Amino acid sequence: MRTALTVAAFAVGALAVPYNKRDVVTNVNVVYKTQVVTVTAGQEYSPVPKVPQHYGHHNWATSSVESVTTTTEAPATYVAPSSTSTSTSTTAPVTSSAPAYTAPAYTAPASSSSSSSSSSSSSSSSSSAAAAPTSYQEITIYHHNLHRANHSAPDIEWDDDLASSAQTIAESCVYAHNTDVNGGGYGQNIAAGVEGNNISAIITDLFYNGEEPLYSGNYGQANPDMSLFEKWGHFSQIVWKNTTHVGCYTQHCPNGLGNVGSDVSPYFTVCNYKSPGNFGGEYGDNVLEPLGHASCDWSTGLSASSY
């Protein structure tokens, strides 16, 4: 049954340059990479090309039972892609502790609600006319593409390699982002506290419906105001036009999920994306204004057997 959820979420991607953490933190940690270039006399110096800044890390939490206080650990990783530099890539994990956070309330719609599903299923994507999705993979793709169609982005496709990496990360049962598994190079959204059969609620109710309104003043800007990035970074990754593939996995951790409070149900969901989104200077071309399709919720397009 779709009932009260306790959820926490991050969005992160492979970082192209050093970046400032945008969590609510008491200490700011910055990771720097120093590159030494030696030029032999008589040789022409070729500068290293500048790489767009990638904004890829934030967190927030919600609770439908009551406002709770939780503390999370959020490691931040800097990865220098080999394709943009001749120097050796380095990984420098940095861990910081977020201060106590009081979560707002969130309640998933009751499973008996059908009116919103019927009114919304006629919108968004041409795939909505097909048979209702039933598997985890089908629902994941369907709900991503509902929103991508509304933002003039092409349909996203499933990628088994991304899903395999997501599984490895989720099975660690440590709630933290990790973009190093199997070579990295992908963007990443993660969530805690939601069972796998509720993946549509993560994608649609939390990441899209909960975040898109906060981005509304930024459409058309190459570099939007990043002061609220932690509030809309999942949404922008979902609709990022140049992202073509996704792979997700949800793991139940019966012995507990690390880095979350005891009030969070021990389910860990990881979604990996390629090409990653949230690059500075590229928002105007990749996060496009909505077309005004009918609103959706977790149940849109799903048959009763899916929940």
Q: pLDDT tens, 93-123? A: 333 333 332 333 333 444 333 333 333 434 4
Closest by CA position to 196, among listed 174, 218, 166 = 166
Sign, Cα dihedral of 145, 149, 151, 153: positive
Q: Where do we find the tokens 């800007």?
A: 221
**Residue 11 to residue 276: CA distance in whole angstroms:** 11
Predicted local confidence at residue 302, as pLDDT: 94
The greatest distance separating any two alpha carbons of the chain, rounded to the nearest whole angstrom, comes to 76
Q: What six digits make up the tokens of 263?
A: 């009030």
The per-residue pLDDT for 263 is 94
**DSSP letter, residue 129:** G
The per-residue pLDDT for range 238-249, each reduced to its tens digit, is 999 999 999 999
CA 93 to chain centre: 19
| C-alpha to C-alpha distance for 213 and 88, rounded to whole angstroms | 41
How far, in Å, CA of 220 to CA of 131, rounded?
35
Q: Sign of dihedral through CA atoms 304, 117, 232, 145?
A: positive
CATH class of 6-306: alpha beta
For 67, 146, 176, 212, 252, the CA distances from 291, given in Å and listed in that order, are 35, 12, 34, 13, 37
| pLDDT value for 52 | 60
